[in-house]
Amino acid sequence: MKITVLGGAGMMGQGIIRDLLSDRAIIDISELRVPDASPERLAALKAEFGADKRLRLSQLDVTDAAALDGALRGSDLCVNSVPTLAGHQMRIFEAALNAGTHYTDLGGLGTYTVKQLEWRDRFRDAGLCAVLGVGADPGMSNVICRAVADQLDEIDSINLYWAAELTGPENPVLVPPYSVSTVLAEYAHPSIQFHGGKHVTCAPMTGVETLDLPEPWGRCEFMYSPHSEQLTVPLAAGIREKGIKEFTWKLHLPHREHEAWVGLVKAGFGEFDDPVTVGGVTVRPLDVLNAVIFRNIEKNADRIPAQDSHEIHFAIGRGRKGGKPVTARCEVVVRPNSLYDGYRDAATSMNASIAAQLLLAGGGRPGVFAPEEFFDIPAYFRELGKRHFEVRSNVAPA
């Protein structure tokens, strides 16, 4: 198999490559192409993985249509790990179709999900498969929602949550959990949730809900944020027919980091694409913030303490089974493990690798799909177990 990971030298792309090249692979990868815009990041990848003869590193500007086509042509799969809010999603999506390659991406808060799903017939007619949003959230989160839905005969609601916690010394440096634009959008942009059997728009940082979780998370305050799960899960075949009236997605970041992102939004960085002029030079706030944050990380690298990251992803479904009210729950816990050394976000990048491999292993059913429509639940959960993700589910009387 030949796979192209666009933006593969970026934060998530590096992890996808690391997992694809590991001994966990369930497909035979003969060539792994890594086109990326950054020569510095490519050089770092070469230093780490250059001995692997399957790796093909190249510099690429995704706005160059001919170069993009050349990067994709002949590949069995395009894994798009270019940050979605960079604005290239539909260009890359169409390029994969034109190049005759299957496609996956990391979702990007659902910014393009609905538009991409409208291309279902075009991919089906071309005999190609596209699965959208295949990281941890979205991606794995969609799969656990399907696992919950499959335990219910009738569904009143499914509520989806993600909580992260850091343990260890306080970090004096702000280190983004993923791309800065994504975090800012989660805090500053309205979200679409599913209430009363229809999609409604909710203001940023609303829907606040406090839940008591096991340590190290403890008492967590969750809030709505824009994501793709709520755009697809309640409309999926086998879920919509069960009468679902509510589907929500909420997140919780570690308390101190949460305060930092709230402060940046209050300062105006939520409008990160609207340019400002400083001293006669026009710049995007996002570019300035990215430069400052990563300069600060590099400058203060020796002050960044070792911290352990703990994640819990869980869905709670309420409805009926056998005519009796029940609550179904499925959760995935990601605890510190030496396997994740070298990953910025192991959950996201490992899940993107899992999705890519299961898609190719299954031959790629033609069409465009959300994860809850595509993946076999037991097969997916087996891959999570190989990566030391803890999967638990239960059904209890309501």
Q: What is the pLDDT of residue 131?
A: 98
Residue type, 5: V
* CA–CA dist 91, 84 (Å, integer): 11
Domain extent listing, the chain: 2-135+346-383, 140-344
* CA–CA dist 367, 396 (Å, integer): 36
Q: Pull the structure tokens for residue 54.
A: 């399957």
Residue type, 130: A
* CA–CA dist 329, 159 (Å, integer): 10
Q: Pull the structure tokens for residue 394.
A: 């239960």
Pick the CATH number of 140-344 from 2.130.10.10, 3.40.50.300, 3.10.20.740, 3.30.360.10: 3.30.360.10
**35 DSSP β-pair partners:** 58
User: Closest by alpha carbon to 9, among 35, 47, 48?
Assistant: 35
Per residue in 71-120, pLDDT tens?
999 999 999 999 888 889 999 999 999 999 999 999 878 889 999 999 99
User: Closest by alpha carbon to 141, among 365, 330, 318?
Assistant: 330
Those residues with Cβ within 8 angstroms of residue 183's Cβ, 6 or more apart along the chain or in another chain: 176, 177, 253, 261
User: Which stretches in the chain have pLDDT values below 70?
Assistant: none
Per residue in 116-132, pLDDT tens?
999 999 999 999 999 99
Q: What is the pLDDT of residue 274?
A: 93
CB–CB of 4/33 below 8 Å? yes
Q: What is the pLDDT of residue 179?
A: 86
- Please name the helix (run of DSSP H) or strand (run of DSSP E) that holds residue 35, with its range, or none: strand 31-36
* CA–CA dist 255, 314 (Å, integer): 19
Q: Which CATH architecture has domain 2-135+346-383?
A: 3-Layer(aba) Sandwich (3.40)
